[in-house]
Structure 1
Amino acid sequence: MHAHPSPATPGPRRVAVVQIASPDDESPKARIARVEAMLREIEGADLITLPELWSAGYFAFDRYAERAETLDGPTVQMAQRVARDLGSEVHLGSIVERGADGGLHNTAVLVDATGRVTQAYRKIHVFGYQSLESQLLTAGRSLS
């Protein structure tokens, strides 16, 4: 486990920005396993950040409902394991979250270095131009 400064600690922070391919024919389980292996190769990052809707596939609109998960689902659990094991914060990008009301949300998730979810933000301004996001996902209601 690496010793990294907390966000409150002044000074530079090392950020790893990860880009991920999201092939249509890859199962969510396989994608999560592939990304977890990729993240475990990162050394010395204080914060690891992933892209928006990588686990479902941003343009996989027809699969949003079947790939939606709760905030204690497999994608968040993977981020919690990685955060704990590497001692890094993990910004999960976002997932298609199935809310308690059954609605689907584009939800950004931040996990601290102990593996605790510290923030979950439901995107307020869902995208509409050349995207079905605004038709399939329910907008969040607050900035926190």
Structure 2
Amino acid sequence: MKYKTLPVALIQERAIIDQGAGNADANLTLIEQRVAEAARQGAKLVLLQEIHNGPYFCQHESVDEFDLAEPIPGPSTDRLGKLAQQHGVVLVSSLFERRAAGLYHNTAVVHEADGSMAGKYRKMHIPDDPGFYEKFYFTPGDLGFEPIDTSVGRLGVLVCWDQWYPEAARLMALAGAEVLLYPTAIGFDPDDDQAEKNRQRDAWVITHRGHAVANGLPVLSCNRVGHEPSPLGASGVDFWGNSHVLGPQGEFLAEAGSEPEILMAEVDMQRSEDVRRIWPFLRDRRIDAYDDLLKRYRD
């Protein structure tokens, strides 16, 4: 472990959605500016939000949106790798991957501080809900829950909908992840009343705090912000932001609001050892009694 205390930055942004075919270039230019600023503030690990190259296109089902996908490695990974190298940061990005004709993934890519690609993770859990029609676009990941080794530590990278599944966080922890990271795109239906909006946002935060506590690990979750209209003429999505950095007891180290922000925090990378000694959840797991977890449901 290189850093006892790791300076991190989460780039919480409002997507540029009015540039037509230039969406990716405009958003990557904005990301370059934000990463440069984060590096000036001392960040060594930078996390971007889910599908950061443009709007959240999964609000509808259209074959034309597949034109946004690109290979990995490809133009965006080349540009992001150079960005990581320029500023000496480990950079976690989120891209629409074209693996082959008709085969696409929602893929997080980790760029090492020297510009090389340290690894990638393909989103395993794919939602299909009103306004979040991801099953039309994304094939479930096939790389498993494998942490990615970097110069700042072993990163357990997961993506958005994965955040609701304790099994995903646990498997990353069992494979030696030292920190859990979630690029995400989650928000309200603008037509919901405020009480429902609060319940949804609180549930999202509680889930991440639970992963931190249950696994004794810091958690970084980076969400997008701003209203994005629906191509179907529906109400669209108000992405709520509230990106956050948690310690291994679920404590808030930093939390963003609902506007664009570079969220900075210092993560004590040795604290997990201390926490796991007083809360030895991995020691006390009854692995002899968990076979039914492999069932869809216990009838």
Residue 145 (structure 2) pairs with residue 143 (structure 1):
yes
SS in 1 for 2:67: helix
Gaps of 5+ in 1: 1-7
Equivalence map 1:17-96=2 (5 Å): 17-26=10-19, 27=22, 28-42=24-38, 43=40, 44-59=42-57, 61=60, 62=62, 64-92=65-93, 94-96=94-96
Higher helix share: 2
SS in 2 for 1:21: coil
**Alignment-derived partner of residue 114 in structure 2:** 114
The letter of the residue matching 2:123 is K
**Alignment-derived partner of residue 4 in structure 1:** none
Q: Deviations over 1:62-96 (max 9, x none)?
A: 4531110111222212211111011110001x110
C-alpha displacement of 1:119: 1.4
Larger radius of gyration: 2
Q: Deviations over 1:82-137 (max 9, x none)?
A: 11011110001x11000035411100110110111111111010122221111221
Structure 1 runs of 4+ with >6 Å offset: none
**Bigger Cα displacement from structure 2, 25-34 vs 45-54:** 25-34
How many angstroms apart in 1 are the aligned matches of 2:49 and 2:139?
19
Residue 105 (structure 2) pairs with residue 105 (structure 1):
yes
Residue identity over aligned pairs, in percent, reads 29
**Alignment-derived partner of residue 188 in structure 2:** none
How many angstroms apart in 1 are the aligned matches of 2:14 and 2:136?
24
Residue 6 (structure 2) pairs with residue 13 (structure 1):
yes
How many angstroms apart in 1 are the aligned matches of 2:52 and 2:3?
31
The count of aligned residue pairs is 136
**Normalization by structure 2: what TM-score?**
0.43
The letter of the residue matching 2:83 is V
Higher strand share: 2
The Cα RMSD (Å) is 1.8
Gaps of 5+ in 2: 147-299
SS in 2 for 1:139: coil
C-alpha displacement of 1:34: 2.2
